Structure 1
Amino acid sequence: MFSTGQWYFALFFVIVFIATMIYVYRKDVKELKSHYRGIYWILFGFLLFIGLLFFIKFYLKD
């Protein structure tokens, strides 16, 4: 289905992409911490809301 060259290109692309993402993240990590303080409370609230929706769905099913 894929030629050997295409597999090599895909492997090279994935390695370079991941390396670039790690480099950019490490470069911006200090700035991200100052901009996104309290983000875990938002994640907690979102997960709690989704859990509440599932609870209501199964509770009202009967």
Structure 2
Amino acid sequence: MFSNGQLIFGLLFFIAFAVIIGYQYRKDLRLHKKHYKGTVWVLIAFIGFIAMIAAVKFIFM
């Protein structure tokens, strides 16, 4: 399916990407805490809405 070279490249790319994203997140953490207060509630509401849709689907199926 994939050659050894492709698998190694994919693994190294993923590791490098994760490290860079983590570094950038840590660098902007103070700014995010200042400007994006309360966004966790939006995430909880979104997950709750999706769960409600799934529950209704399984109840009426």
**TM-score higher than 0.5 here?**
yes
Partner residue, 1:28: 28
Kindly provide the CA deviation profile for residues 8-30 of structure 1, in whole angstroms up to 9, marking residues without a partner as x: 10011010000001100000000
Structure 1 vs Structure 2: percent identity of aligned residues? 42
What runs of 5+ residues in structure 2 fail to find an aligned partner? none
Root-mean-square deviation (CA, aligned residues, Å) is 2.3
Which consecutive segments of 4 or more residues in structure 1 shift more than 3 A?
A: 44-58
Q: 1:8 to 1:38 in 2, by over 3 A?
A: same
Shift of 1:43: 2.8
Larger gyration radius, structure 1 or structure 2: 1
Shift of 1:39: 1.4
| Structure-to-structure mapping, 1:6-25, within 5 angstroms | 6-25=6-25
Partner residue, 1:4: 4
| Rounded Cα–Cα distance in structure 1 between residues aligned with 2:56 and 2:27 | 43
Q: TM-score, with normalisation over the residues of structure 2?
A: 0.70
Q: TM-score, with normalisation over the residues of structure 1?
A: 0.69
